[in-house]
Amino acid sequence: MNDELQRTNPYLNGGAGATSLDTRNRVLRNTYWLLALSMIPTVAGAWLGIELNFAQVMARSPGMALLVFMGGAIGLIFAIQRFRNSSIGVGLLLVFTFFMGLMLSRLLAYVLGFSNGVTLITLAFGGTAAIFLTMATIATVSKRDFTGLGKWLMVGVVVLIVASLANFFFQIPALFLTISSLAIVIFSAFMLYDVQRVVNGGETNYISATLAIYLDLYNVFQNLLMILGIFGGNRD
């Protein structure tokens, strides 16, 4: 796979036409393979977090848990991008997905506390998969250029971050639901944007592409599961 790592971003060097169709297909294929592989450490991290009751540890100090999450996630993302042109980047990506699975274990443990918890998780997984399949198909077959969405989606992410930090302190249920709903819409659109960048040659590094799409999937699944837990959770 290393020989297929790309050296430059075509958007900085003359546009999507800078890469051949064969290269774009290889990047897309490697992205999907690495994305599938990244699910293994994610599940492993989530399972370990549940087994070690990681949720209770984070609940003791929510502020510290948030700092650990932000610091760990941002640090690993920067490291992945730093080594995206070598096999080290693949290893760091798998470490990152394990870490994200570990962080997800708190939500999973909460949902599994419902009598229908397994069903809710299955529904969230199925819903996320359906959204991804739909967006990936549109990105692949559509003649429309969705690259213009990028700047607007980034503005949406900034708004989500600010609103989430505010709600961390105020704990307003209505705002929480609004944030989760908007996150699903924004990161679903990001799937469309990120996949089409690969299809059109805008992203020529499959490690960076996998990282972007993984974060889209993670955020959609997490927020969809939270909404399902709120409205469909059964304590009986």
Average pLDDT, the chain: 87
- Asked whether residue 218 carries a pLDDT value surpassing 90, the answer given is yes
pLDDT tens digits, one per residue of 30-65: 999 999 999 999 999 999 999 988 877 777 777 777
The residue-averaged pLDDT of 98-110 equals 94
CB 199 within 8 A of CB 17: no
- Asked whether residue 23 carries a pLDDT value surpassing 90, the answer given is no
Tell me the C-alpha distance between 212 and 35, whole Å. 10
Give domain limits for the chain: 19-232
Split at pLDDT 50, 70, 90, the class of 175 is: confident
Nearest-10 Cα torsion for 60, 120, 190, 181: -80
- Asked whether residue 106 carries a pLDDT value surpassing 50, the answer given is yes
- Asked whether residue 214 carries a pLDDT value surpassing 90, the answer given is yes
Q: Which pLDDT belongs to residue 15?
A: 42
The model's pTM: 0.86
pLDDT tens digits, one per residue of 176-210: 899 999 999 999 999 999 999 999 988 999 999 99
Q: Which of these, 121, 90, 107, lies nearest to 2 by C-alpha position?
A: 90
Tell me the C-alpha distance between 28 and 171, whole Å. 40
